[in-house]
Every structure is written in structure tokens, then in C-alpha cells.
Amino acid sequence: MQFFFEVLIGGLLAGVMYSMVAIGFVLIFKASGVFNFAQGAMVLFSALTYVSLVERDLSPWLALPITLATMLLLGVLIERVVLRRLVNRSPMTLFMATLGLSFIIEGASQALWGAQVHGLELGVPDLPIEISGVFISQFDLFAAATAAVMVAALSLVANRTRLGIALRAVADDPLAALSLGISLPRVWGAVWAIAGVVALVAGLLWGARTGVQFSLSLVVLKALPVLIIGGFTSINGTIVAGLIVGASEKLAEVYVGSLMGGGIEGWFPYVLALGFLVVRPTGLFGEASVERV
Amino acid sequence: MSALALSGAAPSAASASETASSSGRGTPLLALERISLSFKGIRAVNEIGFEVARGEICALIGPNGAGKSSLLNVVSGVYRPESGAIVFDGQRRSHVEPAWAARQGISRTFQNIALFKGMSVEDNLLTGTTLTTRASFLEHALGLPRARSDERRQRAEVAEVLGLIGLTDHRSAPVGKLPYGLQKRVELGRALAARPRLLLLDEPFAGMSASEKQEMAELVLSVNTRLGTTILLIEHDMGLVMDLSDHVVVLDYGRKIADGAPDVVCRDSAVIDAYLGVDHTSSSGGVPGSARATSSAASAPGAALEVA
């Protein structure tokens, strides 16, 4: 039983890491209907930039704000240079644009920082601590706490600030928002900047967990089932879905995988996601349809 | 409660109408000139022109598909007309951008309620005050003094509008949970929070019960008389239109068939034909009649009829 809880909690905490990537997607999708495939590349780029700065003997306290500013700028730039020109195009066009962007960002990262693998140390040891007989990774707890802070901050921005009100207005009804003088490009720019910051947080945590390497941009593929299960438009949904995916893949690996020779962790979330697509295509918290103007 | 809020709003409204009249007494606030618009080859709006005088309630009526909403969308910048011009407060435009319309003080409601459903009543109204924001985006992000004073002023304005539309008690309710009649009010309130010079109401009474219609009509009237807001509205209910409006424009199949004071318009034969229908054998004889009405209305736009 103790082993079961260890697997369950480990899975839940891993799920939080998936949610963190997925939240970046939800923000942009909600505000502009764009499925931003480049979110993974942004995660990679942020981690790589930070780690490269630190390796060039910059203090982490200087490297962090520089990386943060870079990500804000990158988000605003992508919106202004690419997506603003593609307003009202088909979702497929927008998706292809972000797919292209993801390769460009990866290529630029490599040109800028090189292709070698880096270790990233955040100063949080990845050692288990014991809580009433169950061993839990300290790093995972730290990551979950960071995610909680980030979600709380996002919800504060969304509910308490004028930007947040404008953002939710644009997400709900872009036409009505436009008629009130809310500037859609400005709101989209802000959302891309915020998604850049979310990518930074995810990049640092994932980078510290797996090492900073180019396969980091593939965390997108882990976020995809989370998005399908949680619904593309709900941050709460991505958190719940992240927990479901994390817990179920680890439990499946341990209890079912052993019967099948293992290795089901990689594809089990997609089985879940396909199940959801068939039974509940809008996901747990998703809206029935996204109307575009 | 609402009387108190109204008296608070009155001074600014009075000064607003003062400046409006000083900037051009007699010139209409809005003039549409020979506006045409097609969708996939179908003429939705065919060379329609009319004027909306400062301070009046103008009703746009006509059967379904007559082009009423299309015209409203032209004024608010949703649609771009193929030809013709929009003259707002002396500024002539071949088309209007939504952002420009909002900056000029043109606010609107939508035929199907277009509220931000997940947000509270108060937050919905706050979105209406967007253009009165003075502090920059960065100041707001950092909560600097100018941003805080924006916030205070806008919340106060919203509180005033809440009183006016009688929804002070519902201000923190999520708007999607309110009954339909109240949602219509919130949408009007959101448009009012922008302190509009021209208010466009797309079927403000649609789908309402008789008593809700009555309350809404009183609200629209009080906005017009107390705040001095010029209103252009679309409505099907002829009784309401006659009671409420100073000026009626009748459309049919994308053309204007009558334009004038309500009591004159409702006796117009072309209007009666359009509303009650003409049987097809006599409709060929009816066409010249409506063409005549159009040309006479065009040569004597509104004013002559209103004086009479």
C-alpha cells in the first residue's frame, strides 16, 4: 500500500509538470484561437538561454531577469511579426505557422547557444524526503509549489487587473470586445508575453529534471493528452488533466506495464486522450465550441 | 437608489449635450449616405441614406432580412460598405473601423446578447470603460498611482451605471447565470459605461415579456432624456417603436421605403404593404408606389416630416 501511494504521489507531481506546459497553450488558445505548437520550443529556448547565461559565469539572479525579459520580448515579437498578419485565417494555417515557428526557434537556439546538453542546477536537491512512511521527491514538491504559485498569480492577473478583464473579454467574445475599444492586438501581445513567462517556468523545472537538451521541446507531446482531457480553454482543466495523466501513466506502468513487459508510460496517456476524444470531445472543462469572428 | 445615481450623472450629461450642441446645432450626429452592402452577390443594403439628429431616438424598422442589422454593423464598423459614406459628427468616412467607432463614442448592443458570460456584472461593465483608461499598460501592471486613480474613477462610473440599470444588487453575479431580461440590461449598461454619444441598440426588446419590455423601454427613454444620449435602435414591435421614437426609418429588402415621424410613417402605404404584405398579383402595382416613397423620403429627409 505504501508503494502504491509512492507511485500515485510521484505520478501526481509529475502530472503537475505536464500541466505547466499545457497552461501556456491554454492561454494563447483561449485568447486568440491559436494552437501554439511552438510552446515546446519556447520552453526549450528559455531553459537553454538561462543555462547558457549561467555557464558564462553570470549570476543566476542576473540571468533570470535577462531570460525573463527575453521571453517577454519573444512572445510579443511572435505575435507582432507573425500572428497579427494571420488574423482570421483558418485554424490549420495558424497551426502550420506555429509549427514553422517551433522549428525556427529551435534552429535559432542552436545557432545561438550550440547543440550540447547542459545540466541545470536550481539549488533544490532531487532527494526523497519521508512523509509518514511515503518517500516523495523534494524536487517534485518544489515544482508543484512553483506551479501553484504560478497558477495563483495567473488567476490574480485574470481576475483582479484591467488586463485580465480585457483578456477574458477577448476570450469570451472578440467582436463585443472590439466594439468597446479593447485592442485585440495589444491583448494578444500580452498573452504571448505571459505564455513566454509560463514557458520559462516550465523550461527551468523541466530542464533541471531532464537536463537542458533539444528533446526538451518534445514536452509538447506530453502536454497534448493533457490538453485533450482538460479541454483547450480551461486552466483548471489542464491542472486536473495533468494530475490524471501523471497518476494514471505511472500507475499503469507499474501495475499493468509489468504484465506487458513495461514501456507503456509513453503511450498510455494517448489511450486516455483518445478515449476522451470519443466520449467527451470537449474535455473535462472545455467549452462546447469556439466561435471565431 | 437609481434616482440618486441619475442625479449624480446628470451634470456630466448636461455638459455633454451642451458641447454637442455647440459643436454643430442642426447638423445631424450621424448621417448615412447611399450605403450599399452585398453578401455573396445578394444586396443586403441598397443605397440607403438617412440622418440621426442629435439627442433623438431613431428607430430602424422593417421585416426580417431588410438590412437593419447590416446597417447597424456598418455604423459600428463590423461591416465595410461597398459604396456610400458614413458621416459621424461632421467626419466623413467611406468605412468605419470598430476601434475608431469606439473612440468616437459609438457604443452598441448585439442582437444575440454578446456579454462576457464568465465574468461578473461589474466586470462586464468595467470593460465598457476601457477607453477612459489614462494610465499606460505598464502603470497598470505595477499598480502605480495613475493606474489606481483610473481604477477608482472607473469603478465609480460603473457603480453609477449599475444604479441606472437597477442592477446594483447583482453586481458580483456571474452574468451567464442572470435571467435573459437582466442580461439585456447588463449589455445596455456595458454600452452606457463607455459614456457614448451614439448608442446603437440591436433589438433591445427581443424575446422579452411585456413587463420586461415596458421596463426596458423606460430605461431607454431615461437614458435618452436624462443623459442626452442619441439612440439608434432596431425593433420589430410597432407599438413600442411608435411610443419610444422621435424618428422612424423603414427598410424593406435592403431599401429605405419611409423615413419620418412615427405617426406619419405608420400611415405610409409602402410601410403598410411591407408589414402586412401585399398579394403577389397586386405587388407589381405596388412597386412603383414604394419607389415613389423612397424618392420622396430621399428628397425630404426626415426634417420636413418632423416639422409637420
Q: How far is B97 from chain A (nearest CA, A)?
A: 9
Residue indicated by cell numbers 472543462: A285
**Cα–Cα separations (whole angstroms), residue A242 to A12, A207, A228, A246:** 8, 18, 10, 6
Determine the residue of chain B that is closest to A169 in CA distance.
Answer: B116
For strands B198-202 and B83-88, give the pairing: unpaired
Determine the residue of chain A that is closest to B123 in CA distance.
Answer: A165
Q: How far is A172 from chain B (nearest CA, A)?
A: 5
pLDDT of A273: 92
Q: Yes or no: is domain B2-105+196-307 CATH 2.30.40.10?
A: no
- pTM (two decimals): 0.80
**Cα–Cα separations (whole angstroms), residue A273 to A173, A198, A277, A279:** 28, 23, 6, 10
Residue A167 in grid coordinates: 483578456
Q: How far is B12 from chain A (nearest CA, A)?
A: 20
For the ranges A40-49, A281-290, B158-167, the lowest mean pLDDT is seen at: A281-290
User: Which three-class secondary structure string do you get for chain A?
Assistant: CHHHHHHHHHHHHHHHHHHHHHHHHHHHHHHHCCCCCCHHHHHHHHHHHHHHHHHCCCCHHHHHHHHHHHHHHHHHHHHHHCHHHHCCCCHHHHHHHHHHHHHHHHHHHHHHHCCCCECCCCCCCCCEEEECCEEEEHHHHHHHHHHHHHHHHHHHHHHHCHHHHHHHHHHHCHHHHHHCCCCHHHHHHHHHHHHHHHHHHHHHHHHHHHCECHHHHHHHHHHHHHHHHHCCCCHHHHHHHHHHHHHHHHHHHHHHHHHCCCCCCCCHHHHHHHHHHHHCCCCCCCCCCCCCC
pLDDT of B305: 34
Cα R_g (chain A), whole angstroms: 19
Read off the pLDDT of each residue in A46-61 and give the average, rounded to a whole number.
92
Q: How far is A171 from chain B (nearest CA, A)?
A: 8
For chain A, list residues whose CB is within 8 angstroms of any CB belonging to chain B: 161-163, 165-166, 168-169, 172-173, 175-183, 186, 190
**Are the beta carbons of A207 and A47 closer than 8 angstroms?**
yes
Helices B145-164, B2-22: inter-axial angle, 10-degree rounding: 110
Residue B148, CA atoms < 13 Å, CB-side half-sphere:
4
Please report residues of A whose CB lies closer than 8 A to that of B131: 180-181
The shortest CB-CB distance from B127 to any of A161, A180, A190 is to A180
Average pLDDT over chain B, rounded to an integer: 80
**Other C-beta atoms lying within 10 Å of the C-beta of residue B234:** 24
Best of B127, B142, B150 to disrupt the A interface (most A CBs within 10 Å) is: B127
Domain ranges of chain B: 2-105+196-307
The shortest CB-CB distance from A176 to any of B110, B118, B131 is to B110
Please report residues of B whose CB lies closer than 8 A to that of A168: 116, 118-119, 123
pLDDT > 70: percent of chain B: 81
Read off the pLDDT of each residue in B207-232 and give the average, rounded to a whole number.
92
For strands B57-61 and B247-252, give the pairing: parallel
Q: What digits encode the pLDDT tens for the residues A162-194?
A: 888 999 999 888 889 999 999 888 899 999 999
For the ranges B131-140, B185-194, B210-219, B254-263, the lowest mean pLDDT is seen at: B131-140
The shortest CB-CB distance from A178 to any of B98, B117, B119 is to B98
Residue A25: which of A152, A231, A195 has the closest Cα?
A195
Please report residues of A whose CB lies closer than 8 A to that of B108: 179
The shortest CB-CB distance from A176 to any of B114, B118, B123 is to B114
CB contact under 8 Å between A180 and B117, yes or no, is no
Average pLDDT over chain A, rounded to an integer: 88
pLDDT of A287: 65
Model confidence at B9: pLDDT above 50: no
Q: How far is B41 from chain A (nearest CA, A)?
A: 21
CB contact under 8 Å between B126 and A162, yes or no, is yes
DSSP B174: B
Tell me the torsion sign for CA atoms B287, B289, B292, B297: negative
Residue B208: which of B182, B176, B173 has the closest Cα?
B182
Q: How far is B186 from chain A (nearest CA, A)?
A: 13
For the ranges A21-25, A34-38, A126-130, B275-279, the lowest mean pLDDT is seen at: B275-279
Please report residues of B whose CB lies closer than 8 A to that of A162: 126, 130, 133, 140, 147, 150-151
CATH of domain A2-279: 1.10.3470
pLDDT of B291: 38
The shortest CB-CB distance from B118 to any of A168, A175, A180 is to A168
pLDDT of B279: 55
**Are the beta carbons of B232 and B256 closer than 8 angstroms?**
no
